[in-house]
Structure 1
């Protein structure tokens, strides 16, 4: 198992399946330009080798989240900055429907800010 797979398989269900589904959707949204690496022990998604977003777990909120680079340029009421300079996060509520369309739209917007 590669390190990225190991990251996901340390997460309990149903969170694991949810994050794997989101991972698949992100990678499929632009397979020629979006890649995945493990940085700081976390799965990072990159657009043309530039930082795009990553998954992590918030101890404060007790939820997984997706963190968007250039989040300081994104304006959406569900995004939280919480003192971060370049990133904003979107908490993933496992009890609700996933906002896949919103996530893909935010990724598209971040890609527009990457030069």
Structure 2
């Protein structure tokens, strides 16, 4: 198992399945330009080798989240900055439907900001 797979398999269900599904959707959204790396022990997604987003766990909220680079330029009430300068987070509730279209829309907006 590679380190990225190990990261996900340390997470309990149902969170693991939710994050693996989200990971798959992000990677499939742009197979030529989005890559996955492990940075700081976290799965990072990069667009043309530049930061795009990453997955992590919030101890404060007791939930996993996806954090978007250039989040400071995204204006959505669902996104929390919580003192971050360049990133905003979207909390993931594994007991609700995952807002896949919204997440992919945010990723596309960040991709445009990177170019």
TM-score if structure 2 supplies the norm length?
A: 0.99
Aligned residue in 2 for 1:73: 73
1:101, distance to aligned residue in structure 2 (A): 0.4
1:94, distance to aligned residue in structure 2 (A): 1.1
> What number of residue pairs does the alignment pair up?
115
Aligned residue in 2 for 1:36: 36
1:52 correspondence with 2:52? yes
Counterpart-to-counterpart distance in 1, 2:7 and 2:96: 23
Counterpart-to-counterpart distance in 2, 1:104 and 1:55: 14
Counterpart-to-counterpart distance in 2, 1:72 and 1:37: 23
Counterpart-to-counterpart distance in 1, 2:77 and 2:59: 21
1:33-80, CA deviations, whole angstroms, 9 ceiling, x for partnerless residues?
A: 000000000000000000000000000000000000000000111000
TM-score if structure 1 supplies the norm length?
A: 0.99
Counterpart-to-counterpart distance in 2, 1:16 and 1:34: 21
SS in 2 for 1:96: coil
SS in 2 for 1:53: strand
Runs of 4+ residues deviating >2 angstroms:
none
**Structure 1 residue ranges without an equivalent (≥5):** none
**Structure 2 residue ranges without an equivalent (≥5):** none
Written as runs of structure 1 = structure 2, the 5 A alignment for 1:1-115 is 1-115=1-115
1:82, distance to aligned residue in structure 2 (A): 0.3
